[in-house]
């Protein structure tokens, strides 16, 4: 197969959802369709169960699982589909944001009973910022939930989507009779628990035909007709270009656990989802069909075993062909590196690959050369941009409990931050170190890993902060004045960028008022 054919075969996407909406279940059904797994239950959830906050065995076990399911590739309809897993636990949201920089599209799963939830909102906003094409799957139609039209309103109001329903349910919960595929005019009837046979699909050529009454009964038929009429007048027709630009979001309904509505979603996905897309760098846009290989690291997974402190760096191939045992240019280190065992992920299996194409994810064994955002090329000096870092939500001072191990502590902190576990800020006035995380879980992970992997013991001291804001100004005098007056609240991040540590929203607003020439950002880019 030629390079161009390989490239055009690839579809790389991520599934995003609030925990428990059904991401793992949907992933598994998609893999079953691709024949990548044979039995339900093969894909373990990588979510850290609620209440597991201090259970390190659990965290470790889950981390092991999440390596195995970080990338799941399968073939379907002559396409190579790469699903990038995103951690469901919100304490690891930052990891999810970074993974979204490596996808070309996303599927958003929503629980029909819960509607748009907090985590969905945050993740969809990241996709919107990047103009990532999204398809929505409204799940758990076998249960009672919100009215379909109300849900579409919610997608528009809360997520700012422009929706285009591609299918429509007939009833819900106990009354679920089927899901009408608006675009193909087919009506798969609902048989619970995945006993949906292909030949059970009823083809309704015309919604006005009597066949509809025969299949679903009079009142359900009437209801469907009137709802479909409303939908077709209110919502726009599907427009491929608008979807690809991230301006229109097709919506499907179904029940992942019953494998209902999933095939329709997958069949549509392979038809409309984009092939590997161009990506911006600090120098120029890199097109996927360029001859020379380029790629970037979006995730680093460390082995928590102190005897093998190795890590896997996950690299997204952006252009050209990545080949095993070939020298590539590590742009940040200005060094050549060669990889003898690059790994590809097919469903739950890992294997060594000789060649990978744009859209593919390669696992590289790493002994400390990589940090998130690092770029590999065939020689050109360019760095992929746009990997976001958000202000942490939780902050604590780090206290070194064993001054003899300061070196180990510094090294440990340095490497953990490179992996993107948390962010480190050093206060300008007293040089104290503050760790910032999205959730409290990471503090325990860091403490545990520093001790077990680096032999350094730390404690934390509380610090009450609201946000860390990256500050910028075009006016050097205003910046100088700001630095002088707010010294006690300023710190440097790991890249040496100036950060204002706001104690409360109110305090931030006052400071913004007092320093009008300074801009404050809750987000930075690697
Ligand atoms: P997540 O990865 O998004 O966190 O969600 P996951 O797939 O683990 O699903 C969360 C729960 O919702 C699971 O139940 C799962 O079985 C259930 N679920 C998924 N899809 C459907 C659906 O279409 N209908 C219904 N009724 N339930 C669905 P659980 O009890 O938390 O876990 P489990 O014991 O079943 O694994």
Listed residue (241, 9, 244) closest to 104, CA to CA: 244
State the pLDDT at residue 50.
Answer: 44
Among residues 319, 351, 377, the one where a domain terminates is 377
Does residue 371 lie in a domain region? yes
Instruction: Name which residue sits closest to atom 25 of ligand 1, judged by CA.
Output: 140
**Span from the CA of 120 to the centroid of ligand 1 (angstroms):** 16
Residue 269 confidence (pLDDT): 97
Angle 270-385-432 (CA atoms, 0-180°, nearest 5)? 125
Residue 131 shares a structural domain with residue 235: yes
Residues 258 and 285 in one domain: no
Asked, for residue 469, whether it belongs to a domain, the answer is yes
12 neighbors 84 (Cβ within 8 angstroms): yes
Q: Which atom of ligand 1 is nearest to the CA of 255?
A: 23
CATH number at residue 150: 3.40.50.300
Q: How far apart (Å, rounded) are the C-alpha atoms in residues 331 and 440?
A: 34
- Specify whether 312 is located in the same domain as 189: no
pLDDT of residue 119: 86
Q: Please indicate whether residue 196, judged by its CB atom, sits closer than 6 Å to ligand 1.
A: no
Do 263 and 151 have their domain in common?
A: yes
- Ligand 1 atom nearest residue 143's Cα: 26
In the chain, the number of structural domains is 3
Give φ, ψ of 426 to 5 degrees: -115, 120
Host domain of residue 495: 391-525
User: Is 7 contained in some domain?
Assistant: no
Which ligand 1 atom minimizes the distance to the CA of 258? 23
Distance 21 CA to ligand 1 centre (A): 7
Residue 253 belongs to what H/E stretch? strand 249-253
In the reported structure, the alpha carbon of residue 140 is separated from the centroid of ligand 1 by a whole-number distance in angstroms of 9
Instruction: Mark whether 155 and 286 lie in a shared domain.
Output: no
Q: Is 88 in the pocket of ligand 1 (CB under 6 A)?
A: yes
User: What are the residue ranges in the chain where pLDDT is below 70?
Assistant: 36-69, 88-91, 192-200, 303-309, 346-349, 526
Looking at the DSSP assignment, which residues form a beta bridge with residue 366?
311
315 and 229 within one domain: no
pLDDT of residue 206: 81
The answer to whether residues 414 and 311 belong to one domain is no
Residue 79 in domain: no
Please name the residues in contact with 254: beta carbons below 8 A apart, sequence gap of 6 or more: 137, 138, 139, 141, 167, 179, 260, 261, 262, 264, 265
Asked whether residue 425 falls in the same domain as residue 514, the answer is yes
Q: What is the pLDDT of residue 71?
A: 85
Verify that 332 and 263 share a domain, yes or no: no
* Domain harbouring 514, CATH code: 3.30.70.3280
Is residue 321 located within the same domain as residue 438?
Answer: no
**Domain membership flag for residue 86:** no
Instruction: For residues 247 and 361, state if they share a domain.
Output: no
**467 in helix, strand or coil?**
strand
Q: Which of 174, 165, 164, 205 is nearest to 187 (CA)?
A: 205
Q: Is the dihedral of CA 108, 109, 115, 117 positive or negative?
A: negative
Whether residue 372 sits in one domain with residue 426: no
**Ligand 1 centroid – CA 181 distance (Å):** 24
């Amino acid at each position: 197969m030629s390079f161009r054919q390989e490239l055009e075969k690839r579809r790389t996407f991520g599934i995003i959802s609030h925990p428990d909406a059904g991401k793992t279940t949907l992933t598994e059904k998609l893999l079953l369709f691709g024949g990548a797994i044979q039995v339900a239950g093969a894909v373990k959830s990588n979510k850290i169960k609620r209440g597991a906050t201090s259970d390190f065995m659990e965290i470790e076990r889950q981390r092991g699982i999440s390596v195995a399911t970080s990338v799941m590739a399968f073939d379907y309809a002559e396409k190579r589909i790469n699903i990038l897993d995103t951690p469901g636990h919100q304490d690891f949201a930052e990891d999810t944001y970074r993974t979204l920089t490596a996808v070309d599209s996303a599927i958003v799963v929503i629980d029909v009973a819960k509607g748009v939830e907090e985590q969905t909102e945050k993740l969809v906003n990241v996709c919107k910022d990047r103009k990532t094409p999204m398809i929505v799957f409204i799940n758990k139609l076998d249960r009672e939930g919100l009215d379909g039209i109300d849900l579409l309103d919610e997608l528009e109001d809360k997520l700012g989507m422009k929706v285009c329903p591609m299918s429509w349910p007939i009833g819900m919960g106990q009354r679920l009779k089927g899901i009408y595929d608006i675009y193909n005019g087919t009506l798969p009837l609902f048989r619970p628990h995945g006993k949906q046979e292909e030949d059970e699909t009823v083809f309704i050529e015309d919604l006005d035909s009597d066949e509809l009454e025969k299949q679903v009964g009079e009142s359900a038929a009437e209801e469907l007709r009137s709802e479909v009429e409303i939908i077709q007048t209110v919502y726009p027709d599907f427009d491929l270009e608008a979807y690809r630009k991230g301006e229109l979001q097709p919506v499907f309904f179904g029940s992942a656990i019953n494998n209902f509505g999933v095939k329709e979603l997958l069949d549509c996905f392979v038809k409309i989802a984009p092939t590997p897309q161009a990506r911006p760098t600090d120098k120029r846009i890199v097109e996927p069909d360029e001859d020379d290989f380029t790629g970037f690291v979006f995730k680093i997974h460390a082995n928590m075993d102190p005897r093998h402190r190795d890590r896997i760096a996950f690299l997204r191939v952006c252009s050209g062909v990545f080949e095993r045992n070939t020298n590539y240019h590590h742009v940040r280190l200005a060094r050549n590196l060669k990889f003898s065992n690059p790994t590809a992920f097919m469903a739950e299996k890992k294997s060594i690959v000789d060649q990978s194409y744009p859209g593919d994810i390669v696992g590289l064994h790493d002994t400390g050369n990589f940090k998130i955002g690092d770029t590999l090329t065939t020689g050109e000096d360019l760095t992929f941009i746009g990997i976001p870092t958000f202000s942490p939500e939780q902050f604590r001072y780090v206290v070194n409990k064993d001054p003899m191990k300061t070196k180990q502590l510094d090294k440990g902190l340095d490497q953990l931050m490179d992996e993107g576990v948390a962010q480190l800020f050093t206060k300008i006035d007293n040089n104290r170190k503050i760790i910032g995380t999205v959730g409290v879980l990471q503090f325990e992970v860091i403490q545990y890993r520093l001790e077990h992997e680096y032999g350094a013991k730390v404690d934390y001291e509380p610090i009450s902060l609201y946000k860390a804001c990256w500050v910028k100004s075009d006016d050097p005098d205003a910046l100088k004045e700001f630095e002088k007056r707010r010294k006690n609240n300023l710190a440097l991040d790991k890249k040496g960028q100036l950060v204002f540590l706001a104690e409360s929203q109110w305090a931030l607003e006052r400071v913004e008022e007092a320093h009008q020439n300074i801009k404050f950002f809750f987000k930075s880019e690697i």
